[in-house]
Amino acid sequence: MMESLVLYGLLGIVAGLLAGLLGVGGGIVIVPMLVFAFGRAGFAPESIMLLALATSLGSIMFTSVSSALAHSRRGAVDWQTVWRISPGILLGTFAGTAVAVLLSRRFLQIFFVIFLTYVAVQMLRGSRPRASRTLPGTWGMGAAGGVIGLISSLVGIGGGTLSVPFLVWHNVEMHRAIGTSAAIGFPIAVAGCCGYLINGLGAAGLPPHCLGYLYLPALFPLVVCSMLTAPLGARIAHRLPVSRLKSAFAVLLICVGIKMLWDVL
């Protein structure tokens, strides 16, 4: 158990540093790390991906709060947009967890690899969506939130990879889009945690110390260590060529995706 706690703490350190350094969501880093760690620990193969998704969202529930508050202090969170999109986010994310437990491990991992590749390509291109419209009305925001929440629950992220381009595309300034996306990550994580907790109650083949699909021995070290190291990564980012680091990290994501695809196939 002590060896495992140290391992999960190290994963949290790496995830926090990369999140602060490169501005990537913690989930895109944490999920593949947990998949490899859980496989190494000998967990039942059919539950590994669900455990990784749930535990990743559990850690984001805590880190998104500190991130959103930091952006809010700088006036970079549009709280009205957060309130408007949250109903769709909550419904989409919770529904996504119910869908995820019905899908095969192979489908979930392939879906994650496709999403990982999308993120890597966007980082390599350095492209940003062209602002061309204003934010939609209530139903449009609800639908957008539903789609963002659904996909986020299937890949275990806080939604920034999807919500930031959506907001920028609708004429929200980049810094404000990032801050608002950080706040949107909280309802995603809460709904995702609740969904994976409820849908995992009584599931067969789970390791000890689980709350539904939330694996608590990994959750707590991840939360503590990632929250401690994310600010350090942000400070380092101001001293290093982040654009080159993002390109290198994008290549690393592609390699991770290939490894996950190889394992599942």
DSSP assignments along 202-254, one per residue: T-TTPPSSEETTEEHHHHHHHHHHHHHHHHHHHHHHTTS-HHHHHHHHHHHHH
CA distance between the termini of the chain: 30
Q: What local confidence, expressed as pLDDT, does residue 26 receive?
A: 67
**Type of residue found at 180:** T
Q: Which regions in the chain score pLDDT beneath 70?
A: 1, 19-26, 127-132, 234-235, 237-238, 240, 242-243
Amino acid at 263: D
pLDDT digits (tens, 9 = 90+) for 29-39: 788 889 988 98
**Which residues does residue 214 pair with via DSSP β-bridges, in sequence order?**
211
* Residue 165 and residue 67 in contact, taking contact as beta carbons nearer than 8 Å: no
Residue 90, both tokens: 């909550």
Q: Quick one: which H or E segment has residue 75?
A: none
Give the Cα separation of 56 and 76 in Å (integer): 25
